[in-house]
Amino acid sequence: MKTDFACLYFLENEKHAVIEVKRYDLEEKADIADVYLWLILEKTSGSIQKLAFRSMDSSGDVQERYFDQGYLKFNNQNGTYIEKFNSGQHQLENKTGKALPTEISDALTSYFKA
């Protein structure tokens, strides 16, 4: 499948993938919130949830992203996604710069076409 997006950040563990993408399949005048998306993929079910981005911060090597659904803190090696109300914490490996596995790329392509 041809991809109409680029992966900007990619963090994952055995059960989840947290990904920021830039979409190229939208009109030039598309809202920036539709062009740049943070998504969380649950690998067992294949479900993809769009994270509602609120703000970001960075200091040195540490990046932080705040969403309505939770909080992501990461560096070049690893990260932690904490669900809202601390209902779940997910330790992640930062794989930014590596190719997305085919099954994740295909799932995202299908998600964008839906």
Encode the chain (114 residues) as per-residue pLDDT tens digits. Answer: 456 999 999 999 999 999 999 999 999 899 999 999 999 999 999 999 999 999 999 998 999 999 999 999 999 999 999 999 878 899 999 999 999 999 999 999 999 988
pLDDT at position 114 is: 84
Residue 51 CA: distances (Å) to CA of 2, 84, 107: 24, 11, 16
Q: What is the count of structural domains for the chain?
A: 1
What is the pTM (predicted TM-score) of this model?
0.92
Give the length of the chain: 114
State the pLDDT at residue 2.
Answer: 54
Domain that holds residue 35: 5-113
Q: What is the pLDDT of residue 85?
A: 83
Q: Give 48's Cβ-side CA count (13 Å radius).
A: 20
CA geometry: angle 6, 1, 16, nearest 5 deg: 60
